[in-house]
Amino acid sequence: MKKTLLYAVTAGMIFGLCFVGATLASADNGPADITLHSTIDKAKKAKPAVFPHAKHQAKLECAECHHSKGADGKQVAFVEGQKIEKCETCHNKAAGMPKKISTFKNAAHENCKGCHKKTDKKLTKCGVCHPKKK
């Protein structure tokens, strides 16, 4: 009787651990909140941007922002499980991208502000992403 109970408890614990493991393994959603800033363009007045990542993930597809690059240098659309790199890995001056996406700032403004403009013009105000320092 006691043994049966022990088996049940152990089995339950193993199942529980597997379940947690599976959940963690399938959910590399990155940080919930990110402070974005360039590590290449050290502007005189650094302007970090706040980015509620999880809040955006709740409403949008990963592909709205994430993609990759093929051997030919062309964009590769997002697919689940794709290696996600920092925007600046590809969007930097040395990579010679078109002007509107030639730096982290430009690519971010194109992506972030581009969508915000369609969603709600108030979200394009500088202070939404670059809050004044306290």
User: Segment near ligand HEC (CB under 6 A), from 9-17, 18-26, 41-49?
Assistant: 41-49
Q: How far apart are CA 7 and CA 104, in angstroms?
A: 55
**Which CB atom, from 10 or from 29, has the smaller least distance to ligand HEC?**
29
Q: How far apart are CA 29 and CA 54, in angstroms?
A: 8
Among residues 6, 41, 79, 93, the one that binds ligand HEC under rule CB under 6 A: 41
Contact 100, 106 (CB under 8 A): yes
The sign of the dihedral angle between the CA atoms of 111, 25, 54, 80 is positive
Should residue 84 be labelled a site residue for ligand HEC when binding is judged by CB under 6 A? yes
Among residues 14, 22, 69, 79, the one that binds ligand HEC under rule CB under 6 A: 69
Amino acid at 13: M
Should residue 82 be labelled a site residue for ligand HEC when binding is judged by CB under 6 A? no
Should residue 72 be labelled a site residue for ligand HEC when binding is judged by CB under 6 A? no
Buried b vs exposed e over 30-56: b needs ≥16 C-beta within 10 Å? eeeeeebebeeeeeeeeeebebeeeee
List contacts with ligand HEC (CB under 6 A): 28-30, 34, 36-38, 41, 43, 46-53, 56-57, 59-60, 62, 64-69, 74-75, 84-91, 97-98, 101, 104-105, 107-113, 115-116, 119, 123-124, 126, 128-130
